[in-house]
Amino acid sequence: MIRNGVIEEVGLTRRIENLSVAKGAIDINATGRVVMPGFVDSHTHLVFPPPGMGLCDDAAAVRAVRTGTCQRLQARVRAYLEAMARHGTTTVEAKTGCGPDGRAETKLFRVLAALKNHPLEIVPTFFFRLPNTDRPGEEGVEAWAEWVFREFLPKIRRRRLAHFADLAWEDGPEHRELYSRYLETARGLGFGSKIHADQFSPAAAIALAVEHSAVSVDHLEHATAADAALLGGSRTMATLLPYASFCTGGRHAPGRAFIDAGVAVALGTNFNRQHTPTLNMQSVVALACMWLGMTPAEAISAATINSAHALECADRVGSLELGKSADLVILNVTDYREVAHHFGTNLVHMTMKHGEFIYKEGEVSTRPPRDLQPGLEAG
């Protein structure tokens, strides 16, 4: 039972239908279909890099952001969000990541702020990356880091442009002090912190995440059972991205080991227009079952309520409970376990956000090309 976009009652059909508040309610028939929470995509690179860039040309990607208009960037991101809605995602995290270019970073935050009224809920994240061309100790790195600590982080916090401060981890003891300062500064300002640990040896990144009470440490394709044990005794979550491994043909994160060690596991698409161009959390769930050793129930939980915890919004979304936002999907399967066997297929019949349907599966029908041209009347 949903009223004003909020779940008011949950229970068996007979009990709900006999409630006085059910009289006059609109009845949505989901017979033969699964109704479940909307997907929460807890790790994406939605706004950077923009499309059309070379796979490793970060400088060109930053130039494209600086020279492009906000309207054009918004249109591209809006198209991604609409595709996500069609595939059942209702809440999504979006990282920046232009590196040492404050103007480009600010433009990306303006784009995300302009889309805050889009039907999907966007959780913006500042993605801190060291310059690619410099080395620690050189003026470029130190100057960029000091500017971020003293000016940029306080500014985006005052303006409420970002909820999280993420860190792109790079191996090397020379980085540790700078990384610690970044996490301490972010925490002191009230940001939730994350670490982007897609390195061959993530042990040091995990240790730093635990030390600084990071909300999550992400990727972890090269993690070991010992790493899982370290996370299992902490409050830091593991956000796993099986589609990233699918696209690169690389190793898979030890999902089973994390769960058995007591780690709270979340899932994300890692959407990146260059490297991981997927917007479908259903496929992520299927890959988690095929490759990460997760059961369908574990994978769906990781893609909904656990991902909501990884974005610090589980009090509002991620499960169908009283008082939460009515964010849900109706799937064209009769059992939730079937999601694990439909890789690459869109099973969504309807997507609801805040009690309103934002997507409905359409009919396949024949239409002459003339009908697709606006302003032309049939002859």
DSSP 313-341: -TTTSSS--TTSB--EEEES-SSGGGGGG
Residues ≥6 apart with Cβ < 8 Å to 201 = 171, 222
C-alpha distance from residue 256 to each of 171, 180, 264 (Å): 26, 30, 11
Q: Any idea which residue has 């890959």 for tokens?
A: 287
What percent of the chain stands above pLDDT 90? Answer: 70
Q: Look at strands 39-41 and 34-37 and give their pairing.
A: unpaired
Q: Which residues contact 139 (CB under 8 A, 6 or more apart)?
A: none
Task: Determine the pLDDT at residue 97.
Answer: 85
Where along the chain do its domains lie? 38-321
Strands 216-219 and 192-197, how do they pair?
A: parallel
Render pLDDT for 190-225 as a digit per residue (tens, 0 to 9): 999 999 997 778 899 999 999 999 999 999 999 999
pLDDT for the residue numbered 54: 53
Question: 38-321 has which CATH code?
Answer: 3.20.20.140
> Cα dihedral sign for 275, 281, 285, 286?
negative
Rounded alpha-carbon distances, angstroms, from residue 127 to 54, 71, 209, 284, 289:
20, 22, 15, 23, 29
Q: Give the rounded distance of the alpha carbon of 137 from its chain centre.
A: 34
For 324, the token pair is: 């939460």
Q: Which amino acid is at 328?
A: L
Q: Is 14 exposed, middle or buried (0-12, 13-18, 19+ CB in 10 A)?
A: exposed
Q: Residue 13 belongs to what H/E stretch?
A: helix 13-17
Please give the backbone phi and psi of residue 351, each rounded to the nearest 5 degrees, phi first: -125, 130
Residues of the chain with pLDDT under 70: 51-57, 132-139, 375-379
DSSP string for 87-117: TTEEEEEEE----S-HHHHHHHHHHHHHTTT
pLDDT tens, position by position, 59-110: 788 888 888 888 999 999 999 999 999 999 999 999 998 878 888 999 999 9
pTM score of the predicted model: 0.93
Separation in Å, CA 296 to CA 275, 302, 348: 26, 10, 17
